[in-house]
Amino acid sequence: MASKSGLYEGEHNKYRTPLVSRYASSEMTYNFSDMKKFCTWRTLWLWLAKAEQKLGLEISDEQLSEMEANKANIDFDRAAMEEKRVRHDVMAHVHTFAACCPKAAPIIHLGATSAFVGDNTDLIVLRDGFDILLPKLARCIRRLSNFAEKEKSQPCLSYTHMQPAQLSTVGKRACIWIQDLLMDLRNLERARKDLRFRGVKGTTGTQASFLALFDGDEEKVEHLDRLVTEMADFKQYYLICGQTYSRKVDVDSLCPLASLGSTVHKICTDIRLLASVKELEEPFEKEQIGSSAMAYKRNPMRSERCCALARHLMCLIQDPLMTASTQWMERTLDDSANRRICLAEAFLAADSILGTLQNISEGLVVYPKVIERRVKQELPFMATENIIMAMVKAGGNRQECHEQIRQLSQEAGAVVKQEGGDNDLVDRIRRSDYFAPVHTKLDSLLDPSTFIGRAPNQVIQFLKAEVEPELQKYASQLETVSKLEL
């Protein structure tokens, strides 16, 4: 058999998740990077040592300075070699950190367990991930709000059961999208606010090792927990944990992301459906190709991307649910490999989706003439009740009028469905002597703006009362434009 040496070498011969190589932002990919992770581990060891020194343990300023100077001085090759030797990622990095901090080596990781760096880092990364997502979600809401305000009075067909229903407006439909995104914004804010620090808890959460370090002084152990929590910029820590923080925290973090996925999938599906009838179109680059064979095509590829990634995001909630349900006693290690994947991928997918949705929202194109033509096709049927009422006011009999218009509607419907023609119900009414009393009123009775109810004012009221207050806290972050790499 021929040698395959070299076949697996080089970056292009290795799989890279598309979430990193194609979709997610650099800030989110860094948030889940090895550099962020292991620098945070070293920072946690430094914070622990500083707190322990403050509470009386023999740790010198020189040792702390050495740790501070080497937080980002990570020899990844050495760490990989150490992990291969000891089969333990945390101890591999303890040895690697100690190698560049010989004076501090004796006190690195003092009293701690692996979960001290592993879980606390995960909580920091989750918090920072929410801090990246929230302004992006706010920007999507802002862009769609601008769109809704602009299109608040544009009459359009609304649909129930995907069948034409009474009229609404383009802006009102956008507000339905925004309302769901506002729910997502509040859910993400709540999840971020609910995050606590694991803190300094020891091997199985009892703080026994730290109690031994401080000669049984419980007050110092509690003070140590508070000090490190404050250094990590968390307001609270979990009072109770096993070896790890409860894996329900991961569930509560990914649930709002999965829910966001369902919202974006719905919005982008609506856009795709409207694009198929040419009422609405997402941005389309000057040299963008819709199809290699059909040169005329303008596919809604951004919305399709959002739907594809949202589908993945919605599925990921199953991972933390299963993990939380199978954590035996104080902890089992079958959570580790799963969490390395699902936590990162959920935030990367959400980040990718929001960047794309913002780009879509910044360039939505409405085609009023197409919308008007489609309204005119359906409006005569919707206006029959108004016409009947006008006839009754002119002295007509309601039941006779209903029968007359029913017959004309059936004839017009046959033209549309069987002959493929335009809806000619209005012309039939104009030619009917029976409807002569309302012939001069037909134009006003068929004015689309009289069929949209309070939609324009609903848009104004909603944007002012519900959207603006929620966006105020993100005011300084709303102007960034989405630079989408297609």
Quick check: helix, strand or coil at residue 280?
A: strand
Is the model's pLDDT at 86 over the cut of 70?
Answer: yes
Give me the amino acid identity at 321.
Answer: L
Last residue within a domain, chosen from 107, 138, 172: 107
Collapse the DSSP code of 323 into the 3-class scheme (helix H, G, I; strand E, B; otherwise coil) and give the result: helix
Strand-pairing partners, residue 154, are none
Can you list the alpha helix ranges (DSSP code H) found in 87-169?
A: 89-100, 114-150
Query: 228: how many CB neighbours lie within 10 A of its CB?
Result: 24
CATH number for the domain including 322? 1.20.200.10
188-243 tens-digit pLDDT: 999 999 999 999 998 899 999 999 999 999 999 999 999 999 999 999 999 999 98
The pLDDT-based confidence of 422 (bands split at 50, 70, 90) is confident
129 CB contacts (<8 Å, ≥6 apart)? 28, 31, 32, 347
Catalytic amino acids? 161, 291
Residues 250 and 125 grouped into a single domain = yes
The owner of tokens 């006008």 is 390
Average model confidence (pLDDT) across the chain:
91
Mean pLDDT of 271-300: 71
The residue-averaged pLDDT of 308-320 equals: 96
According to the model, what pLDDT value does residue 420 have? 86
- Cβ atoms of 370 and 279 closer than 8 Å: yes
Classify residue 58: in a domain, yes or no. yes
Which of the four pLDDT bands, split at 50, 70 and 90, describes residue 281? very high
192 and 320 in a single domain? The answer is: yes
For 56: left if phi > 0, alpha if psi spans -120 to 50, otherwise beta; the answer is left
Same domain, 254 and 145: yes
Domain, as residue range, for 419:
384-445
- Is 32 buried (19+), middle (13-18) or exposed (0-12) by CB count in 10 A? buried
Residue 3 clears pLDDT 70, i.e. is over it: no
When pLDDT is averaged across residues 166-183 and rounded to a whole number, the result is 96
Domain boundary among 367, 401, 423: 367
pLDDT band for position 423 (cuts 50, 70, 90): confident
CA 124, CA 36: separation in Å to the nearest integer? 10
The pLDDT, as a whole number, for residue 413 is 85
Q: Give the pLDDT mean for 17-28.
A: 91
Give the per-residue pLDDT at 34.
94
The answer to whether residue 456 is domain-embedded is no
pLDDT-derived band at 290, boundaries 50, 70, 90: very low
- Report if residue 475 sits inside a domain: no
The more confidently predicted of residues 415 and 136 is 136
- Inside any domain, residue 181: yes
pLDDT tens digits for range 426-485: 889 899 989 888 898 888 888 898 889 999 999 999 999 999 999 999 999 988 888 776
Higher local confidence (pLDDT), 9 or 301: 301
Q: In this structure, are residues 380 and 426 in contact, taking their beta carbons and an 8 Å threshold?
A: yes
Cβ-based burial of 91 (10 A; exposed 0-12, middle 13-18, buried ≥19): middle
Cα angle 138, 132, 272; round to 5: 55
CATH code for the domain in which residue 421 is found? 1.10.40.30
Residue at 476 is within a domain: no
Residue 202 lies in a domain: yes
In this prediction, residue 21 has a pLDDT band, given cuts at 50, 70 and 90, of: confident
Domain endpoint, select from 78, 107, 136: 107
- Residue 259, domain member (yes or no): yes
pLDDT for the residue 296: 43
Task: Assess whether 50 and 164 both reside in one domain.
Answer: no
In the prediction, which pLDDT does 59 show? 96
Residues 25 and 79 in one domain: yes
Q: How many domains does the chain have?
A: 3
On whether both 238 and 342 belong to a single domain, the answer is yes
**pLDDT at 68 exceeding the cut of 50:** yes
Question: Two tokens at 420?
Answer: 């493929």
Judgement on whether residues 244 and 136 belong to the same structural domain of the protein: yes
**416 and 342 within one domain:** no
> Distance (Å, rounded) from C-alpha 19 to C-alpha 1?
36
Q: How confident is the model at residue 486 (pLDDT cuts 50, 70, 90)?
A: low
The answer for residues whose C-beta is within 8 angstroms of residue 298's C-beta and 6 or more apart is 275, 281, 284, 288, 290
- Rounded CA-CA distance 140/382 in Å is 34
What value does the mean pLDDT take over residues 265-286?
A: 90
Write the CATH number for 97: 1.10.275.10
Shared domain check, 135 and 23: no
Q: Is 36 a residue whose pLDDT tops 60?
A: yes
pLDDT at 182 over 90: yes
Report if residue 5 sits inside a domain. Answer: no
Same domain, 255 and 340: yes
Judge whether residue 284 has pLDDT over 90: no
Whether residue 133 is found in the same domain as residue 260 = yes
Over residues 119-145, the mean pLDDT reads 97
Same domain, 314 and 236: yes
Tokens describing residue 391? 């006839």
